[in-house]
Amino acid sequence: MTYPTKALAPLMLEDYRRVMVDRRGQQEQFSVLQIHDSMKKVTAVDLKQTISLGSDIQFRAYYAGHVLGAAMFHLKVGESTVVYTGDYNMTPDRHLGAAQIDRLKPDLIITESTYATTIRDSKHARERDFLQAVHKCVTNGGKVLIPVFALGRAQELCILLDDYWERMNLKAPIYFSAGLTMQANVYYKLLIAWTNQKVKDTCITRNTFDFKHVSVFDRSQLNAPGPCVLFATPGMLSGGLSLEVFRLWAPFEQNMVVVPGYCVPGTVGYRLVTGKTVTLDADKRIKLEVRCQIHHLSFSAHTDAKGIMDLLRHVSARHVILVHGEKPKMALLRTRIISELGVPCFVPGNGETVEVPSRLVLKVLASEKFLTKSQSNSLQTSIKSKVDDVSAPKRHMEDVSLSSIHDIRSAIIIMDKEKTIQVLNPEEALNVLNVSQHNFLYRCRLPLYISGMNDKDFNAPEVFDRGPTEGNEISGKELMKPSKKCCRGIQEFSGFQQQYDLEDKDAENELIWAERKEQENELELEDKGAENERIWAEHKEQEGIPHSVLEAMVQTVYKHLVKQLGDIVCYKQDNCIVANSVCIKISSEKTQSGTENKAQYIFTCTWSGQDEELARQIISILHMMQIASQASA
């Protein structure tokens, strides 16, 4: 906790214990000794001082306004961050400044929502109305009760009335209750550094908390005649001196009760400001008729709905949780946050658990070569670096958002024996790991069955002449003709045509030879017959399916891919089609199903990791051709 909170906390705890035990007769929850023992374990922190607990937990306090010593806390556990606001005020008042916090962009912010739907009017207008109401009441001889808490509004309104009494030269006494409020005022005088700038600037000539017209209240003055103003605790008329005075002053019309802040449902203060009843059962025995004036003004130290939205916009959290508010109003604020800020917002009940995802950020050692390349590629990384070792030039990256690196494959992450994570260029990683480069290839095989075909009978021209605009169907009827001893046709390649006669095995060998010679354009073998025999043996291994039919299949697939993908597709030798580094090869097999011969063509698509998206697109095209072919066969 902060230094002012550490100073004031024992007073607040003792006051609570005394009210609950001595005045209400409830069982003691803790003793005075336990209060002092617990405060010995407290470590006070300055604003914006980073405190570390172990290696993974850090927290930092930020100025929250609200009351003296109030702070928001930014908590960091590993790489997950949370801002817990506590109570805060985004509007400066007469003794405290507005809340101040950095643009932290945490994973989660937990914010109070006391005034989830309320937007307060002008501060000057509220002060004017308050002063006029009090002035009118005391001028008419009435007594003014202002129930307040000992910290915050008591000091704020004392400053306001003390200045006004000085300007207007009023004589009616102003009192504040003895005890806690008086002790709190002492700490306000001592801890000037936590107040606003105006109080700091004037403290040399006159301490703002040295009041001229405000004095300590004595119980003997409860029934004293004449007008007066009394600040009494607690602020919601839930007990203590404020409720005791209220019972005495409420039946008289010339008196007035000013409720300057928020009141919890169920308290006397809440019933007064909502006007639900005109009679109050003050001590469960006496019915109290309320005739005094009731004046409600929002001098609360809690921020309003506008302040909450301003804080959320500034902090830029990824998730929001609302606490400390009325459920129906919190639901309305939640809708507004989701609509205007576009972030998830939760309103959990007591005991309810909310799960919020967080980012995973790794602290790594990055080589100079990697950093240089990253900067040259204009990668938008948030890097705060320092030289760790002169002999081993590496830099420490404290805040690296992996999601902001556009090409994640441009680096390799390794962990050494000391479990330190390093980011290296691929070339560096090979040397560090003492390994050679391995290229991983992925492969997909798609079968295409065509029925009604035998070894010798095929109809190449019809397939060759057919363009992809005629549809994707590839049927056995288009590839086959009735059995003949000879079949004439035109073999079509990239840029040439060749007429052929197939009458015997030698003629087909010559045709295959011509095809290979034209495609490879590098055949200089002395023994042409031997090469023919080798080529023929290759085709024999393909279960006897004619090579020209296979070429027809390649050409058909090639045309479909060109139509779908454009110029990135090219045709290479050996029944191979290439799109970038994705390779599509087509081979054939022949199977026997009953009395019918079936030719099975196999599409084999091979690709590396960087071309996965293109490979999936190509496989999708081939798969559609397969479906269309089976439907028409």
H or E stretch at 562: helix 547-565
Using alpha carbons, select from 540, 469, 455 the residue that is nearest to residue 502: 455
* Alpha carbons 145 and 249: distance in angstroms, whole number: 8
pTM of the model: 0.57
Burial class (CB in 10 A: 0-12, 13-18, 19+), 310: middle
Burial, 88: exposed, middle or buried (Cβ in 10 Å; 0-12, 13-18, 19+)? Answer: buried
* pLDDT per residue as tens digits for the range 286-295: 567 888 999 9
pLDDT digits 0-9 by tens, 206-216: 888 888 999 99
Share of the chain above pLDDT 90, in %: 32
Give me the active site residues, please.
112
* Rounded mean pLDDT, 233-257: 90
* pLDDT value of position 87: 96
Q: Which domains does the chain have, with CATH numbers?
A: 45-118+303-346 (3.60.15.10), 123-296 (3.40.50.10890), 364-433 (no CATH), 443-632 (no CATH)
CA atoms 405, 408, 412, 414: torsion sign: positive
**Cβ(357)–Cβ(384) below 8 Å:** no
Q: How confident is the model at residue 175 (pLDDT cuts 50, 70, 90)?
A: very high
Q: What is the pLDDT of residues 65-110, one digit of tens each?
A: 999 999 999 999 988 999 999 999 999 988 899 999 999 999 999 9
Share of the chain above pLDDT 70, in %: 71
Which amino acid, one-letter code, is at 66? H
Higher pLDDT, 388 or 233: 233
* Of 131 and 441, the one with more pLDDT: 131
